[in-house]
C-alpha cells in the first residue's frame, strides 16, 4: 500500500487506489472506528476488473484530525474531491455500517456520480429510524464508559461485535488502534447526514446483512427492501456485521454479480 493524500486545511484524508483507471470504479467505505484495511479481502479480487478506491474516513486510520472542526459529514465532499483528482466521472459505491450511511449521503449530494449502492449492515438515512437509533444510543453509552476508563477494552469490544472470525477480529482490533479518543469529536457530525425524504431510490440498490448480525439490523434491511421493490436483498450465512470479512467469498461473488448488471 502506498497511500495517497487529499490535503485539507488542518488535516489530510488518506486513500488508496488499485487496478486500471480505465476500468469502471468501485469505492469501498469502512465501518466506524476501523479503516480501509477492512477491505483486505476485496481489493485484490475487484482490482482485476475495476479501479478500486478505499478511503480512511476523517478521524479514522491515517486520516487523523489536527487543527480542524470538520466532522464526519464532510466525508461525502472528501470522496467527491478524490474522484475529481483521479479523473473518475462516476462510481459504484460499497459501504459497511458507517460506510453505508456515508455512501447514501454521497449519492444524495452527488446523484450523477453514483452508479450503484451496496449497503452492508446499515439502514436508510432517509427514513424513520427511531428504533435503531434508540438501540444505538444504548450501545454508545457502553462505548463512552469504556472510552473513558479502558480504550483497549473498547477496541476489543468493537472487534468482538463486528466479526465472527478470530483472525478477522485481530484485523479489526489493529485497525481500531488508529482511532484515538481525540477522534471521537468528528463523530459529532453524524446527525448532519440524516436527510428525511420518501422518494424511491433511482440508484440500483443491493442490501446485505449477516445471518449472525443483530436482529434489529437484519429487520431494518429487510424492511427497507420491502419498501424499495427494485432493490436486491441477501442475508449471508456464516457472517456477522462485517460480512466482507467473515464470508468474503459469498460477499465478493454477490457484489461482483450485482455491479456487473450496471
**pLDDT tens for each residue of 57-67:** 999 999 998 88
Please check the confidence at residue 202 and state whether its pLDDT lies above 90.
Answer: no
Question: Taking CA 153 as the corner, what is the angle to CA 33 and CA 97, rounded to the nearest 5 degrees?
Answer: 25
Residue 4 predicted with pLDDT over 80: yes
> Of 24, 10, 124, nearest to 70 (Cα)?
10
Percent of the residues in the chain that have a pLDDT greater than 90, as a whole number: 77
Residue 68 has a pLDDT of 87
The DSSP line for 77-135 is HHHHHHHHHTT-S-EEEEEETHHHHHHHHHHHH-GGGEEEEEEES---SSS--HHHHHH
Pairing of strands 51-55, 11-18: antiparallel
**Nearest C-alpha neighbor of 30 from the set 91, 101, 82:** 101
Cell, residue 7: 490535503
- Would you say residue 136 has pLDDT above 70? no
Per-residue pLDDT reduced to its tens digit, 231-261: 999 999 999 999 999 999 999 999 999 999 9
Gap between the terminal Cα atoms of the chain = 29
Closest CA to 30 of 41, 20, 22: 41
- Residue 141: per-residue pLDDT: 64
**Could you give the count of Cα atoms lying within 13 Å of 152 in the half-sphere of its Cβ?**
0
pLDDT at 200: 67
Indicate the CATH number for domain 4-260: 3.40.50.1820
**pLDDT per position as a tens digit, 77-123:** 999 999 999 999 999 999 999 999 999 999 999 999 999 999 999 99
pLDDT of residue 60: 97
Most confident of 45-59, 63-77, 145-159: 45-59
Confidence check: pLDDT of 144 > 80: no
**pLDDT > 70 fraction of the chain, expressed in percent and rounded:** 94
> Which pTM does this prediction carry?
0.95
CA 42 to mean position of chain CA atoms: 13
Closest alpha carbon to 103 in 54, 149, 160: 54
Q: What is the DSSP string of 15-56?
A: EEEES-TTSPEEEEEPPTT--GGGGTTTHHHHTTTSEEEEE-
37: pLDDT strictly greater than 90:
yes
Q: What is the per-residue pLDDT for 1?
A: 63
Name the residue among 12, 61, 32, 242 with its Cα closest to residue 147: 32
Amino acid at each position: 500500500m502506498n497511500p495517497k493524500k487529499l490535503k485539507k486545511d488542518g488535516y489530510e484524508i488518506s486513500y488508496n487506489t488499485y487496478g486500471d483507471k480505465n476500468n469502471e470504479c468501485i469505492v469501498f467505505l469502512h465501518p466506524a472506528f476501523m479503516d480501509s484495511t477492512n477491505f483486505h479481502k476485496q481489493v485484490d479480487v475487484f482490482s482485476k476488473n475495476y479501479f478500486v478506491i478505499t478511503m480512511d474516513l476523517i478521524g479514522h486510520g491515517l486520516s487523523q484530525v489536527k487543527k480542524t472542526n470538520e466532522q464526519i459529514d464532510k466525508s461525502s465532499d472528501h470522496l467527491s474531491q478524490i474522484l475529481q483528482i483521479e479523473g473518475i466521472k462516476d462510481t459504484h459505491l460499497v459501504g459497511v455500517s458507517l460506510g453505508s450511511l456515508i455512501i447514501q449521503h454521497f449519492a444524495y449530494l452527488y446523484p450523477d456520480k453514483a452508479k450503484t449502492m451496496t449497503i452492508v449492515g446499515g439502514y436508510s438515512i432517509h427514513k424513520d429510524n427511531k428504533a435503531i437509533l434508540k438501540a444505538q444510543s444504548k450501545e454508545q453509552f457502553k462505548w463512552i464508559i469504556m472510552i473513558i476508563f479502558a480504550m483497549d477494552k473498547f477496541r476489543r469490544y468493537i472487534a468482538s461485535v463486528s466479526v465472527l472470525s478470530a483472525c478477522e477480529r485481530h484485523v479489526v482490533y489493529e485497525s481500531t488502534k488508529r482511532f484515538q479518543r481525540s477522534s471521537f469529536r468528528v463523530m459529532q457530525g453524524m446527525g448532519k447526514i440524516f436527510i428525511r425524504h420518501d422518494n424511491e431510490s433511482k440508484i440500483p440498490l443491493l442490501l446485505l446483512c449477516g445471518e449472525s448480525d443483530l436482529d434489529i439490523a437484519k429487520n431494518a434491511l429487510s424492511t427497507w427492501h420491502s419498501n424499495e421493490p427494485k432493490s436486491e436483498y441477501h442475508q449471508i450465512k456464516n457472517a456477522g456485521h462485517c460480512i466482507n470479512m467473515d464470508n468474503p467469498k459469498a460477499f465478493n461473488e454477490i457484489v461482483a454479480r450485482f455491479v456487473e448488471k450496471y
